[in-house]
Amino acid sequence: MLDAQERFVASGSLRIWTERVGDPGLPVVLLIAGSAAQGVSWPDALVGRLVERGVAVIRFDHRDTGRSSGVDFDAHPYAIGDMARDCLAVLDGHGLGSAHIAGTSLGGVIAQWLGVHAPDRVRSLTVMSSSPMGHDPSPAWARARAGEPPDPDDLPPPSPAFLAHQAAGLPPGVESDVALFRVFNGPVRPFDEPAARAELELALSRATDPAAAANHHRAVWIDAPDLHAPLSSITAPTSIVHGDRDPVCPLGHGEALAAAIPGAVLHVVPGMGHVMTSPGLPEEVADLVRL
């Protein structure tokens, strides 16, 4: 069991739930979860391995997830940059001038935003299972859904298995999410269904408004000039961690990121999908986080 200190911090009018693990005198890794995901989606095994590597770890609930504040999106729409500023508020709330930043999926896009727009706050950058900031995936998705071949000049579309799950329109709930995580896991590495189910049930039990997390899917489609700043301006030491069986952001997305960020190192994780729901995978990924 991790020895964790919980704290709420302010991001404007919002209250953001945070949890800090490890020696407060050590450098910190800030973990940024993906779309609609709570801070507890980062596995304890990954957090524990990072602590063993000699750092402290902060994970937190995005706005509209878990125990953090909800937002009336229709009245106050927000974009990726606003979610990134929540991350800066977390650092401020813990008295941190900078941290190692690690984000997965949408969290990886937010991490890129921080690397571009808040370079003085970023000691190092680890982008996992993500896609280049500012890339519009809708044309590739539309072609795939229409059964058309991929555009060779675009990044690859999601896998047929992921698109089929989306098209199935399963009712919301833990069972549907477990099925989605099975697709996310991919077909190569074993899927730890009990661990995935426990994570999803925990998230449901601590969510103030489970439906509010869907606002993240609205936020990611809001185009903004700050998303199109060049990734070549990132100066932090950067690692890209990407599975070669990612059904949402196939490996070409990670390769494009590594090519766009100066000096970035690409770590391809064999058999990894879009989540860490396979035994031993959280520790394997933790060892690839740039410190």
| DSSP classification of residue 151 | P
Q: Which residue has the tokens 């650092």?
A: 91
100 CB neighbour count, 10 Å cutoff: 22
Distance CA 96, CA 24 (A): 10
What pLDDT is stored for residue 168 in this prediction? 86
Summary mean pLDDT of the chain: 96
Beta bridge partners of 109: none
Q: Does the pLDDT at position 2 exceed 80?
A: no
Partnered with residue 58 across adjacent β-strands are 20, 30
Q: What is the DSSP string of 101-118?
A: EEEETHHHHHHHHHHHH-
Instruction: For 20-41, write each residue's pLDDT tens digit.
Output: 999 989 999 999 999 999 999 9
Decide if 176 is catalytic: no
Q: DSSP letter for 187, please.
A: S
Please name each of the domains of the chain with its CATH number.
Answer: 4-286 (3.40.50.1820)
CA-to-CA distance for 159 and 249, rounded, in angstroms? 9
Res. 170: pLDDT tops 80: no
Query: CB of 130 within 8 A of CB of 249?
Result: yes
- Largest Cα separation within the chain, whole Å, is 54
174 to 63, 197, 198, 200, 287: CA distances (angstroms):
21, 7, 10, 6, 30
pTM: 0.97
Q: Of the listed 105, 124, 129, 131, which one is catalytic?
A: 105
Share of the chain above pLDDT 90, in %: 95
pLDDT, one tens digit per residue, over 56-96 is 999 999 999 999 999 999 999 999 999 999 999 999 999 99
Give me the DSSP letters along 211-228.
Answer: GGGGHHHHHTT---GGGG
13 tagged catalytic: no
Catalytic, out of 86, 177, 192, 246: 246
Confidence of residue 172 (pLDDT cuts 50, 70, 90): confident
pLDDT bin (cut points 50, 70, 90) of residue 166 is: confident
Categorize the per-residue pLDDT at 1 as very low, low, confident or very high, splitting at 50, 70 and 90. Answer: low
In angstroms, the CA 99 to CA 122 distance is 6
The residue annotated as part of the active site, out of 135, 253, 267, 274, is 274
- 274 is a catalytic site residue: yes
Q: What's the helix, strand, coil split of the chain in %, to 5?
A: 40, 15, 45
Cα separation, 32 vs 141, in Å, equals 25
Per-residue pLDDT tens for 189-216? 999 999 999 999 999 999 999 999 999 9
